[in-house]
Amino acid sequence: MARTQPQKRATVHDVAAAAGVSRGTVSRVLNGGYVSAASRAAIEAAIADVGYVPNTAARNLVRRRSQAVGFLTLEPHSLLLEDPNIGAIMLGANEELSIADHQMVSLVVDSARDTERVARYLSGGFVDGAIVVSARTHDPITRVIGALGLPATFVGHPPDLSRDTPWVGIDNAGSARALVTRLAAGGRRRIGMIAAALDRDSGADRLAGFRAALGDRFDAGLVAEVPLYDYASGVKGMRELLSREPAIDGVFAASDAVAAGALEVLRDAGRAVPADVGLVGFDDSSWALRTQPPLSTVHQPAREVGAVAADLVLRQINGDHPDPVVLPSPIVWRDSA
Amino acid sequence: MARTQPQKRATVHDVAAAAGVSRGTVSRVLNGGYVSAASRAAIEAAIADVGYVPNTAARNLVRRRSQAVGFLTLEPHSLLLEDPNIGAIMLGANEELSIADHQMVSLVVDSARDTERVARYLSGGFVDGAIVVSARTHDPITRVIGALGLPATFVGHPPDLSRDTPWVGIDNAGSARALVTRLAAGGRRRIGMIAAALDRDSGADRLAGFRAALGDRFDAGLVAEVPLYDYASGVKGMRELLSREPAIDGVFAASDAVAAGALEVLRDAGRAVPADVGLVGFDDSSWALRTQPPLSTVHQPAREVGAVAADLVLRQINGDHPDPVVLPSPIVWRDSA
DNA sequence: TTGTACGCGTTATCAT
DNA sequence: ATGATAACGCGTACAA
């Protein structure tokens, strides 16, 4: 009949009683403070004896700190399931927070209902700060964070006007530009792009880089817009491009997953890569090495992005006022172009 | 000079003062209770005015409930990054918890350090229950949950002796058996398996099902053991199988990702699928449709698994004592075998 | 070194 | 319907 329910937990009071000291002394051995060896021994014994475990809610209440930071993922449909980077970013953040003895709590915002609940959670003193990945312009969550004055860091550059909250990311535009420039240098004449997630900074910036690289030769008719950074979008986008310009001989896919989808369409259409058409992706995710041929792409240091994001919130929690940081994202050139 | 630091937040006390009523009355409008229209109006105005937002830590302290449940992912290396199901499970759980007005907080356990911190977190009253995915035998976290008497649910069947904590999952052994039986029925003579994650119940059960399906024809020399459910493991495993038995004509890969890796090796080796060798996977993840040919596999209702897991903890939190549930996982037969 | 007492922000019980 | 007031479990000046 093991009950899993009420389970009255031992408190400092109980420990004190069992050890024959006052609650203050118990509290002192728990945190750091001067306490005699004798008392300490007795108290430690008592703790083990009554099975005491601190109530963090109470501790937070008095300390006004939770030792936790939120990791917010907006729009999980595309992100949690499709974005190969998000996992690595989380891991990087967790690692960094871990060594600072902070708990990372990952919150997913999947509906209006979620939004409201997460807002309450954030306001409730559960976290000392937040890492927000892929915020869109005018996101309610962004507003809440601002209103709360909660230490925060954006992954990807900050939506709209955004006050002084720092962010960490890569130079999407610059990298895209460099990549496409190199693709063009290979002698390709008709270069198109499958542009994804244009409502996100990364998506918009990659398109901007594409355009900049091509300059006068840019042709708006050669960019296919798709909603997500995923494989299916790549399939769709490539079909569109192919029908619009059968003579296409170069393609910049907004992500490796998109490129993988495009690759399949090209194969089915009988176009050899890279012989007939040069294809490049973005992210250097696991996709890049799984395709045949492996993808030329831009390396995104996902794990480090997460680590830096964590560092930036931590610094703010400690009263600092750090600047944004953009990490290097080198081109890695393989066989697809 | 916008400070993001201290930011003294308004309390019920402030609201009461501003509205000219007592704290009790304020609390009553916040939660439900009888309060005159006049007071209510005044209080609501005051709330908006001073920008009051409830402190959940304080509320939890007195209510002894956090309205949150933890989603624990152990060993994120393989899971968070490689397992295509984990995201869907999370989403399913979040959805269910969301409608019950509970916050899902996802915690990743990536190191010994993490283990200890998460244990503290769990003990701290931050969550009313926990969903644990992929616990191994003798996991410290499992022990903590047991000792705490925290309402919990395992995804996959419970490690070791495990008390009366319910779980949700599929019949890995049965499904694997049915799948391999069908593969064998196609006339394949030498059927091998790439077995992964043998230290997890799902991995061990899939191997057991494979063995059961083959009966007397089972040959231990035809199973290659690999650590993870991922693509790279598939590559490694298939190479091994091929070198051990060049005449192999059927392969059961422990997951779709593994099958995808195996497929590449087969292609490189000049073996046609399904003509020369029949290949089947497991999970019915997005991998299954991306390969050429698409994979015959076992459909895993990941989203529903998550939803049921959430339901099971919720029920326990409300004092119930639910039974384990195993969800149907039908075979979906495509072209790879 | 140790004990006392107050406060953290809410909810809940009790009179009124 | 509303206002005091006592918990909730803990940290921490302050006094001893």
User: What pLDDT is attached to residue B8?
Assistant: 65
Q: Which nucleotides of D are covered by protein (CB under 7 A)?
A: 1-5, 7-13
Residue type for position B178 = A
Q: Strand order in B191-196's β-sheet?
A: B223-226, B191-196, B250-253, B278-280
Residue identified by tokens 């569109």 is A240
Q: DSSP string covering B214-264, please? A: HGGG--GGGEEEESSSSHHHHHHHHHHHHHH-TT--EEEESSHHHHHHHHH
pLDDT at A54 over 80: yes
Is the C-beta atom of B239 closer than 7 angstroms to strand D?
no
pLDDT at B220 over 70: yes
CA separation for the pair A70, B269 (Å, rounded)? 48
Q: What does the pLDDT look like over B273-290, one tens digit per residue?
A: 999 999 999 999 888 988
Rounded CA-CA distance B280/B175 in Å is 12
Separation CA B95–CA B91 (nearest Å): 6
Please compute, for residue B78, the number of CA atoms within 13 A of its CA located in the half-sphere on the CB side. Answer: 20
For A32-36, A56-60, B2-6, B229-233, which range has the lowest pLDDT when averaged over its residues?
A: B2-6
DSSP 3-state of A125: coil
Place of tokens 């191997």: B207
User: For residue A260, which residues of chain B lie inside 8 Å, CB to CB?
Assistant: 290
Instruction: Name the residue among B181, B186, B132 with its Cα closest to residue B298.
Output: B181
Is A153:A176 a contact under the CB 8 Å cutoff? no
Amino acid at A314: L
> Tens digits of per-residue pLDDT, B224-246?
999 988 889 999 999 999 999 99
Read off the pLDDT band of B20 (50, 70, 90).
Answer: very high
| The predicted structure's pLDDT at residue A207 | 98
Residue at token pair 């916050």: B103
| Higher-pLDDT residue of B217, A122 | B217
Concatenating the DSSP letter of every residue in A49-82 gives HHT----HHHHHHHHT--SEEEEEEE-HHHHHHH
A145-181 residue pLDDT tens: 888 889 999 998 876 656 678 999 999 999 999 999 9
- pLDDT at residue A315 above 90? yes
Read off the pTM.
0.85
Which one, of B251, B165, B160, B240, lies nearest residue B199 by Cα?
B160
pLDDT of residue B330: 97
Instruction: Dig out the tokens for B331 from the structure.
Output: 């075979």
Residue of least CA–C1' distance to C6: A62
User: What amino acid occupies position A187?
Assistant: G
For the segment A258-269, the average pLDDT, to the nearest whole number, is 95
B172's tokens: 């890995």
Output the distance from A32 CA to D9 C1' rounded to whole Å.
18
Contacts of A2 (CB under 8 A, 6+ apart): B149, B163, B164
In whole angstroms, what is the distance from residue A285 CA to residue A288 CA? Answer: 6
DSSP B98: H
Q: Which of A119-133, A273-287, B159-173, B292-306 has the lowest mean pLDDT?
A: B159-173
What is residue B114's predicted lDDT score, i.e. its pLDDT? 87
Q: Does A302 touch chain B (CB under 8 A)?
A: no
| pLDDT for B4 beyond 60 | no
Spacing of A98 CA from D13 C1' in Å: 32
Per-residue confidence band for A2, with pLDDT thresholds at 50, 70 and 90:
very low
Question: Residue A79: its pLDDT value, please?
Answer: 61
Pick the more confident residue, B296 or B94: B296
pLDDT at A81: 66
Distance CA A303, CA A169 (A): 11
Taking the Cβ of residue A121 and every Cβ of chain B, the question of whether any pair is shorter than 8 Å is answered with: yes
Q: What are phi and psi of B19, to 5 degrees?
A: -90, -10
pLDDT (tens digit per residue) in A201-243: 889 999 999 999 999 999 999 999 999 888 899 999 999 999 9
- Closest alpha carbon to A157 in A135, A130, A178, A179: A135
Q: Are B87 and B306 in contact (CB under 8 A)?
A: no
CA-nearest residue of chain A to B92? Answer: A110
Rounded mean pLDDT, A259-265: 96
**Interface mutation target, options B1, B53, B71, B143, chain A, most CBs of A under 10 Å:** B53
pLDDT tier, A121 (very low <50, low <70, confident <90, very high otherwise): confident
pLDDT confidence of residue A3: 31
Residues 236 through 275 of chain A touching chain B, CB cutoff 8 Å: 260, 264
- Structure tokens belonging to residue B189: 């003579």
Residue contact B105–A105, C-beta within 8 A: yes
In this prediction, residue A137 carries a pLDDT of 58
Closest chain A C-alpha to B330 CA, distance in angstroms? 22
pLDDT computed for residue A322 by the predictor: 94
Asked if strand D contacts B196 at the CB level, meaning under 7 A, the answer is no
pLDDT at B322 over 70: yes
Q: What is the CA radius of gyration of chain A?
A: 26
**Tokens representing A58?**
């109470």
Check residue B42 and give its pLDDT: 92
Mean pLDDT of B87-103: 89
**Amino acid at the residue B175:** S
Nucleic chain C contacts, Cβ below 7 Å: A 21-25, 28, 33-36, 38-40, 58, 61-62, 64; B 9, 11-13, 23-24, 27, 30-31, 52-55, 58-59, 61-63
